[in-house]
């Protein structure tokens, strides 16, 4: 049976600019910046697509989000995922445990329908709520082992081999499938959509479903903005006279040997 890698994504505000909060202080307002998925999830999608290609399987994508989150599903479809599931719900009232439970339900239902996801990939953490736990909670929901923070993965002999950058250097994990892996950005370069890819994505029918249980909530009281931090450029000098100061800087940064 061929492998159907499931990758989980979350629609988040693209927060590269100045962040604006929603009026109820429960979410980041995306009206100026637009929406995206986190860098980790982009890498997870890339790894899912690469893995599927390597083993002759498929990559599927799932999200829990409001109706607009279909945009992120289409983006994933445009870069090589071939099926998508949309759990339609207000993501701001779902805590990490709630989300893990909903994804687990999707995995179980797909499995019951003859479409098991022996490998589930998630981002290391969501770009907005930064909870660092959905993947691990999902693993417990599914009773599977989990590798956290993988930069690279490969599937071989019924196992997933993951490379993680740890305190001791490059660490390797090897875990039998089925398994859950959370992905940290940096190991792969996520591709952009191609024109044919985008056109194909448009034609995929997205599985729509509602949550299986009431969320217990994220325990969030409110969001607030930290006081602004002025970043001052340090002028090293004017003209060629600044050269020694520049090379001093190079030495401090360790980019030239002393």
Partner 1 sequence: MATVPTSAGVVVIGAGIVGNSLVHHLARLGWRDIVQIDKGALPNPGGSTGHASNFIFPVDHSREITDLTLDSVRQYQEMDVFTQSGGFELARTEERMEELRRRMSSAKAWGIEAELVSPEFVKEKVPFIETDQFIGAFWTPSVGVVDSLRAGTIMRESALATGQLTVVPNVEVVGMDVEGGRIRRVRTDGGDIEAEVVVIAAGVWSPKLGDMAGVSIPLTPAVHQMISVGPCPQLAEQEGEISFPIVRDMDTFCYERQHGADMEVGSYAHRAILHEPEDIPSIEQAKLSPTELPFTSDDFDPQLEQAYELMPELLGAEGAEMRYAINGLLSLTCDGAPILGESHVKGLWTASAVWIKEGPGVGRAVAEWMTHGYSEIDIQHSDIARFHPHQMRREHTRLRTTESFIKTYGIIHPAEQYESDRNQRLAPMHESQKKLGAFFFETGGWERPHWYESNASLLEEYGDRVMPREHEWDARWWSPIINAEHLRMREAAGVVDLTAFAVFDIEGPGALDTVQRTCVAQCDVKVGKVIYTPVLNAAGGFVSDLTVMRLGEDHFRVVTGAAHGMADRKTFSDQLPGDGTTLTDVTDEVSTIGLWGPRARDILSSLTSDDVSDEGFGFLSCREIPLGDVTVLASRISYVGELGWELYVPMRDAAKVWDALLEAGERHGAVPVGIGVYGTTGRVEKGYRAFGFELDAERTIVEAGMQRPKVKAADFVGKEAYLAQREQAPATVLCTMTVDDHTSASGRKRYMLGGEPILTRDGGTLTDGHGRHPYVTTAGSAPSLGKHLLMAYLPPEQAVLGNELAVSYMEELYPVTVASVDATPLLDPQNERIR
Partner 2 sequence: MILVLVETDATGAIEVSRETITFARDLSAAGGGVPVDAVVVGELPGTAEELAQQLASYGVRDVHHATGEAFSAYGGASWASAVQAVRDSTGAVVVTAAGTPRGMEVLAHLTARIGVAMAANVVSFEGLAPFTVTRQVVSGSVLEEMVLDERPAVFTVAGHAVEAVPAQTPGAGRLVPSSPEVAEADLIARVVSSEPPQADLSGGLKTARVVVGAGRGAGSAEGFGDLLELRDLLDASLGVSRVVTSLGWRPHHEQVGQTGSRISPDLYVACGISGAIQHWAGCSSAKTILAINTDAEAPMVAKAHYAVIGDLHEIVPAINEELRKRKG
Residues that bind partner 1 (CB under 8 A): 14, 16-18, 20, 30-35, 71, 74-75, 191-196, 198-199, 202
The tokens describing 234, both together, are 């340090």
155 close to 164: Cβ distance less than 8 angstroms: no
Q: What is the rounded CA–CA span in Å between residue 192 and residue 13?
A: 18
Residue 164 is classified by DSSP as E
68 binds, among partner 2, partner 1, none (CB under 5 to 8 A by kind): none
Beta bridge pairs of residue 84:
61
Q: For residue 155, what is the enclosing H or E element?
A: strand 146-156
Q: Sign of the C-alpha dihedral, residues 132, 7, 62, 79? A: positive
208 binds, among partner 2, partner 1, none (CB under 5 to 8 A by kind): none
Pick the stretch among 2-10, 44-52, 102-110, 137-145 that binds partner 2 (CB under 8 A): 137-145
CB nearer partner 2, residue 58 or residue 96:
96
Q: What is the rounded CA–CA span in Å between residue 174 and residue 160?
A: 6
Residue with tokens 């607030």: 224
CB nearer partner 2, residue 43 or residue 83:
43
Q: Is 168 in the site for partner 2 (CB under 8 A)?
A: yes
34 binds, among partner 2, partner 1, none (CB under 5 to 8 A by kind): partner 1
Convert residues 30-69 into a mask of x (bound to partner 2 by CB under 8 A) and - (unbound).
----------------------------------------
Within 8 A by CB and 6+ apart from 203, the residues are: none
Residues of span 92-131 touching partner 2 by CB under 8 A: 95-97, 125, 127-131
Residues of span 143-162 touching partner 2 by CB under 8 A: 143, 145-149
Residue with tokens 């982009």: 42
- Least Å distance, CB 158 to partner 2, is 13
């Amino acid at each position: 049976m061929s492998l159907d890698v499931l990758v989980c994504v979350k629609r988040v505000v693209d927060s590269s600019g100045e962040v604006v909060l929603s009026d109820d202080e429960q979410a980041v307002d995306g009206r100026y910046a637009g929406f995206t998925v986190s860098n980790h999830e982009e890498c997870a999608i890339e790894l899912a697509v690469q893995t599927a290609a390597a083993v002759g399987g498929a990559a599927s994508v799932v999200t829990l989000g409001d109706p607009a989150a279909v945009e992120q599903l289409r983006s994933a479809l445009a870069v090589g995922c071939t099926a998508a599931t949309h759990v339609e719900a207000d993501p701001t009232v779902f805590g990490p445990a709630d989300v893990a439970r909903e994804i687990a339900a999707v995995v179980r239902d797909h499995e019951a329908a003859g479409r098991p996801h022996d490998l589930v990939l998630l981002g290391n953490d969501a770009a907005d709520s930064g909870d660092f736990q959905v993947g691990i909670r999902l693993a417990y929901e599914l009773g599977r082992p989990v590798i956290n923070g993988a930069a690279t993965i490969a599937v071989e002999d019924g196992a997933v081999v993951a490379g993680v950058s740890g305190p001791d250097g490059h660490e390797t994990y090897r875990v039998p499938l089925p398994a859950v892996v959370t992905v940290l950005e940096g190991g792969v370069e996520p591709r952009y959509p191609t024109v044919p890819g985008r056109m194909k994505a448009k034609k995929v029918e997205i599985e729509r479903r509602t949550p299986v249980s009431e969320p217990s909530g994220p325990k969030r009281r409110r969001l607030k903005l930290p006081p602004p931090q002025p970043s001052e450029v340090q002028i090293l000098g004017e003209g060629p006279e600044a050269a020694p100061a520049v090379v001093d800087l190079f030495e401090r940064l360790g980019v030239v040997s002393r």
